[in-house]
Amino acid sequence: MPDSNKVYKIGDLTVTKIEEQVIPGIPPGYLYPKLSPQDFAAIEPALAPHDLGATRADVNISVHTWLVRTPKHIILVDTSSGNHKDHPQNPLFHQLNLPYLQRLADAGVRPEDVDYVFNTHLHVDHVGWNTVREKDKWIPTFPNARYLIPSVERDYYSSPASHNEANIPSLGTYEDSVLPVIEAGLVDSIGPDGGPVLDYFTFVPTPGHSIGHMSIEFSSNGDRAIFAGDVMHSPIQVVRPDINSVFCEFLDQATESRRKILDHVAQNDALYFGTHFAGRSVGRITRNDGGYLWIPE
Ligand SMILES: [Zn+2]
């Protein structure tokens, strides 16, 4: 992908994308059930080559982690899908065997070097590398890290309430990728209102895609940026914030959070780091004719 290994500087911090996989050729009407073929045709010319499949009739989705270096710490924001996890109900993430840890090593980071893991939410493609398989059990991948997890997400996905149709894609994820790090004593909870973390970061509630989804604003030396998790899946939703993805669990809240983040990013000239944007995953958002425009960097 065009921006893998590119180093983004935000004041004293640097951010690099660690690619896990790009899922090609997803029909837009599957990913965005309310997006009509006419809607897609209107947006398609504005999309970058890597946002789209070879025929430009379908869309690509990236799954990646943001590697953040502060002057003191190494931080991973979301940990992609993980290897060897059993998700027969979800073939995109079933029994993967991908060189993610090698890519992290290529970026100069060994598992034991990671100081913090931030999870925006607890879906299958955001917590997978929290753990690795050792014989017949799951153990923390990053043994020296503190894992920061929204408490609302932990409470929901550990309860029977989450065993419903909307959460089918992530069934089993709490057990194989979250519970083992809790049992290892490595988890610190982020409360329902979010709040500041370390010197640079603020967790902000952006519920809807999932029940306790958080975005993470950060700033240094006047530069502002945000990791917004799954508030959006592609630049399509910058143009059409009313469109939810098929993986959004609480639809009205998801739309509300998307509009809130678009406003925030445009107003503050913040750099937006998109988790699933496949073409250029980093960019600015400006107001445009009553809507918004995506300007990749
Ligand atoms: Zn996701």
Calculate how far, in angstroms, residue 277's C-alpha sits from the geometric centre of ligand 1: 10
pLDDT at 93: 93
Calculate how far, in angstroms, residue 50's C-alpha sits from the geometric centre of ligand 1: 18
77: its two tokens: 């924001």
Calculate how far, in angstroms, residue 292's C-alpha sits from the geometric centre of ligand 1: 22
On whether residue 67 sits in a domain, the answer given is yes
237: its two tokens: 């939703």
Calculate how far, in angstroms, residue 129's C-alpha sits from the geometric centre of ligand 1: 14
On whether residue 197 sits in a domain, the answer given is yes
Closest CA to 157 of 137, 175, 184, 140: 175
On whether residue 1 sits in a domain, the answer given is no
Calculate how far, in angstroms, residue 18's C-alpha sits from the geometric centre of ligand 1: 15
**What's the CATH code of the domain at 161?**
3.60.15.10
Between CA 139 and CA 162 the distance in angstroms is 23
| pLDDT band with cut points at 50, 70 and 90 for residue 289 | confident
pLDDT at 2: 66
| pLDDT band with cut points at 50, 70 and 90 for residue 149 | very high
Between CA 276 and CA 170 the distance in angstroms is 16
Residue 17's domain comprises 7-296
On whether residue 260 sits in a domain, the answer given is yes
Secondary element (H or E) of residue 8? strand 7-10
In the chain, how many domains are there? 1
Calculate how far, in angstroms, residue 276's C-alpha sits from the geometric centre of ligand 1: 7
Kindly report, residue by residue over 9-18, the tens digit of the pLDDT.
999 999 999 9
Q: Are 240 and 287 in contact (CB under 8 A)?
A: no
Q: Are 196 and 204 in contact (CB under 8 A)?
A: no
Calculate how far, in angstroms, residue 209's C-alpha sits from the geometric centre of ligand 1: 9
